[in-house]
Structure 1
Amino acid sequence: MTEPSPDTSASGRCLCGAVSFALTGRLPPVGMCHCSKCRRVSGVGSNAVLAVRRERFAWLAGQDRIQTFALSSGWSTAFCRQCGSPAPQPTPDGARMWVPAGSLDGDPDLSVSGHIHVASKPRWAVIRDDAPQFDEAP
């Protein structure tokens, strides 16, 4: 396992600890997706991710333990093969990494940038922040 560098601003891991990663620089805000696919993969009313620039992301361990599941539409999810926890994965253009916010260690100071696919949000999922809301993806 590689140790985080002194420039690390946050680190994260899966539930079993097999997959771990580090982030450098200022952390971007969290995006919340309420589409049915993200709800199914997260098991809750939305999926919370940070879109981290690729050069600010580093695998520390377990990249070989990640499994990706993709739909024919191109939507995909990545998870630890051992414990099933969501794992970081590249954005479709490869310029950033989708980092599951709940996988970060500790309680980093994060804000929510917005909510997408709010039109398909379940009634029981209540949005309580002032971040912008979009019925679909902008």
Structure 2
Amino acid sequence: MSNEKIKGRCFCGSIELVVTGEPSAMGYCHCKDCAAWSATPINSYSFWGFDQLEITKGLENIQTFSKTDHSKRKFCKKCGGHIMTEHPSSNLVDIFAVILEGFSFKPSIHVNYESKTVSVKDGLPKFKDLPEEFNGSGKILPE
């Protein structure tokens, strides 16, 4: 794993963060919760370990919304910009790829494709829900 540091920030710059190394996974989520939260039909996710993340500015500006016990969605209380979603049960944090400066987003899968709003033809596997290692069915749907 590299020790590269990548900076990120909310829309207004009140919150700044740094992630170190490489994400454990990158892909697209099509679930209704992610779509509603991100106000887009597809959410680009990058999963990082909690130990890879450092909030360098504006910790006091982070607000949390939890619809379920499975995720803690974090956003800036000044601009409303979405920053990340913590997934405590997996010890991972999903940082919105678009807030990371110069980050090379390389998705490998689509998850929750059964809930898709738009079809995507990109050659990546389209999981009905989640891969088996994340307690999903592991079923792959056609493009």
* TM-score of the pair, normalised by structure 2: 0.79
The aligned counterpart of 2:81 is: 85
> Contact 1:68–1:78 (CA<8 Å) still a contact in 2?
yes
The aligned counterpart of 1:98 is: 94
> Contact 1:11–1:104 (CA<8 Å) still a contact in 2?
yes
> Contact 1:12–1:105 (CA<8 Å) still a contact in 2?
yes
Which residue identity is paired with 2:126?
Answer: Q
Aligned counterpart in structure 2 of residue 132 of structure 1, from 121, 125, 129: 125
> Contact 2:97–2:105 (CA<8 Å) still a contact in 1?
no
Structure 1 position 73, deviation (Å): 5.5
SS in 1 for 2:108: strand
Tell me how far apart the structure 1 counterparts of residues 50 and 86 of structure 2 sit (CA, whole Å).
Answer: 8
Structure 1 position 34, deviation (Å): 0.5
SS in 1 for 2:60: helix
Which residue identity is paired with 1:12?
Answer: G
Which residue identity is paired with 2:107?
Answer: V
Alignment of 1:31-46 (within 5 A): 31-46=27-42
Pair 1:111 & 2:106 matched: yes
> Contact 2:23–2:47 (CA<8 Å) still a contact in 1?
no
* TM-score of the pair, normalised by structure 1: 0.82
Structure 1 position 52, deviation (Å): 0.6
Tell me how far apart the structure 2 counterparts of residues 22 and 73 of structure 1 sit (CA, whole Å).
Answer: 26
Tell me how far apart the structure 2 counterparts of residues 136 and 10 of structure 1 sit (CA, whole Å).
Answer: 30
Is there any run of 5+ residues in structure 1 with no aligned partner, and where? 1-6
Which residue identity is paired with 1:66?
Answer: I
> Contact 1:34–1:118 (CA<8 Å) still a contact in 2?
yes
> Contact 1:53–1:95 (CA<8 Å) still a contact in 2?
yes
Tell me how far apart the structure 1 counterparts of residues 72 and 51 of structure 2 sit (CA, whole Å).
Answer: 21
SS in 1 for 2:27: strand
Structure 1 position 69, deviation (Å): 1.2
Question: How many residue pairs were aligned?
Answer: 129
SS in 2 for 1:71: coil
